């Protein structure tokens, strides 16, 4: 069976072309997008479009191709994880974090990942494939629909921090960002979007040149190349100096402050010495470091740092003049680390 094209893959300009080919005037774009981004999954419901247009759209297109197969809410109710089935049988996950200032969705950009970070579940089977634009959009629409109609947008903030390296799926991710920012779709401000990367220097520079002022979060996890190479293979391709230079370039081009993610791993990168070295590396750069005590991962050699070590690291780094926050830890009880929920699900279904 030939698979239909997904309308969620299309930009407003592409939809305008589609409608033009059907002989429809340009104002129909707004009408169509209005329905689609309100979560309608069937062209039949788009009652302000002529019936013949609806039929012809239905012949060629579908609306979204991602199915929720499991949902787990944390005990406190502040985190909801979703497992989603893709058309080819692959499974991805996305997570909603509920903050006082609104809901944030952490979504996936690839099935698997080829970056090989040693503390990460998502990379264990390497990269399976890139997600299409529509598969990223569908995660947002699925969660919005699940959170219910509240009269306002449910998801206000997006973080590209689920499985996958977003800059390794560059073209689709850039198109996705433009699409959800469009006032006729979800109208999500670039300021409310964060892209997390393990530090693909050339892509950071390319993104900086594109006039998309989102927040960049760089997973650094070590203050020097030798240590970084032990935990992140990508460190062999780019040095920490090159990454910091690219971050400065991004800041200068976009005016957006860059944050560095630093996962604390017991006895590996969580010492006073590393905190001081990190302070020296980032001195005089108006950035911000987000420290994240890792969750212990079953079968992985890394353990969570003790509370005392976490505190000392934070205090030492702060004393060097760097702005530090500790990421609020959500959803410990539901498999907080990237990929854990999916793995639990697959283990259960296999068992
Ligand atoms: S941490 Fe991110 S970049 Fe690294 S392997 Fe996992 S998904 Fe890929």
Is there a catalytic annotation at residue 120?
Answer: no
Q: What is the pLDDT of residue 64?
A: 94
Which of 110, 116, 117 best tests ligand 1's pocket when mutated (most atoms within 8 Å of CB)?
117
Fold assignment, 5-62:
DNA polymerase; domain 1 (1.10.150)
Q: What is the pLDDT of residue 324?
A: 97
Residue 113 in contact with ligand 1 by CB distance below 6 A: yes
Of 24, 93, 135, 165, which one is the catalytic site residue?
93
Below-70 pLDDT ranges, the chain: 1, 149-153, 297-300, 328-351
Going by C-alpha positions, the residue among 154, 232, 167 that lies closest to residue 195 is: 167
Distances, alpha carbon 295 to alpha carbons 6, 287, 330, in Å: 37, 25, 11
Q: What is the pLDDT of residue 327?
A: 74
Q: What is the pLDDT of residue 149?
A: 55
Q: What is the pLDDT of residue 122?
A: 87
Residue 195, classed as helix, strand or coil, is strand
Residue whose Cα lies nearest atom 3 of ligand 1: it is: 165
Look up tokens 């300009």; give the residue. 13
Going by C-alpha positions, the residue among 211, 298, 306 that lies closest to residue 266 is: 306
C-alpha 256 – ligand 1 centre gap (Å): 23
pTM for the complete prediction?
A: 0.91
C-alpha 330 – ligand 1 centre gap (Å): 19
* CB-neighbour burial class of residue 211 (10 A; exposed 0-12, middle 13-18, buried 19+): exposed
Q: What is the pLDDT of residue 298?
A: 65
How is the chain split into domains, by residue range? 5-62, 66-350
Residue 165 in contact with ligand 1 by CB distance below 6 A: yes
Is there a catalytic annotation at residue 94?
Answer: no
- CA Rg, the chain, in Å? 21
Which of 112, 119, 120, 128 best tests ligand 1's pocket when mutated (most atoms within 8 Å of CB)?
120
> Which two three-digit tokens encode residue 261?
């993610």
C-alpha 115 – ligand 1 centre gap (Å): 6
Which ligand 1 atom minimizes the distance to the CA of 163?
A: 7
Residue 120 in contact with ligand 1 by CB distance below 6 A: yes
Is residue 148 within 8 A of residue 324, CB to CB? The reply is no
Superfamily covering domain 66-350:
Aldolase class I (3.20.20.70)
């Amino acid at each position: 069976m030939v698979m239909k094209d997904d309308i969620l893959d299309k930009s407003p300009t592409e939809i305008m072309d589609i409608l033009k080919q059907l002989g429809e005037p340009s104002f129909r774009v707004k009408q169509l997008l209005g329905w689609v981004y309100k979560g309608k999954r069937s062209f039949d419901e788009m009652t302000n479009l002529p019936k013949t247009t609806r039929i012809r759209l239905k012949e060629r297109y579908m609306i979204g191709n991602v199915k929720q197969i499991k949902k787990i809410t944390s005990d406190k109710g502040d985190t909801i994880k979703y497992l989603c089935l893709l058309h080819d049988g692959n499974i991805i996950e996305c997570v909603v974090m509920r903050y006082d200032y609104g809901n944030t969705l952490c979504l996936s950009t690839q099935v698997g990942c080829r970056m090989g970070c040693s503390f990460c579940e998502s990379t264990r089977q390497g990269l399976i494939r890139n997600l299409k634009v529509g598969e990223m959009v569908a995660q947002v629409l699925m969660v919005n629909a699940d959170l219910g109609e509240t009269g306002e947008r449910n998801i206000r903030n997006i973080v590209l921090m689920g499985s996958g390296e977003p800059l390794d799926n560059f073209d689709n991710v850039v198109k996705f960002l433009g699409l959800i920012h469009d006032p006729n779709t979800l109208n999500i401000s670039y300021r409310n979007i964060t892209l997390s990367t393990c530090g693909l220097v050339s892509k950071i520079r390319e993104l900086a040149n594109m006039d998309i002022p989102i927040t960049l979060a760089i997973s650094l996890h070590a203050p020097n190349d030798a240590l970084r190479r032990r935990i992140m293979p990508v460190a062999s391709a780019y040095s920490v100096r090159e990454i910091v230079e690219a971050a400065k370039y991004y800041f200068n081009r976009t005016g957006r402050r860059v944050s560095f993610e630093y996962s604390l791993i017991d006895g590996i990168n969580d010492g006073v010495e590393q905190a001081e070295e990190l302070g020296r590396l980032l001195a005089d750069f108006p950035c911000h470091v987000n420290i994240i005590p890792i969750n212990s991962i079953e079968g992985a050699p890394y353990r969570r740092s003790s509370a005392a070590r976490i505190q000392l690291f934070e205090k030492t780094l702060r004393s060097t003049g760097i702005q530090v926050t500790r990421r609020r830890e959500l959803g410990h009880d539901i498999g907080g680390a990237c990929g854990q929920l999916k793995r639990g699900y697959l283990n259960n279904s296999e068992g």
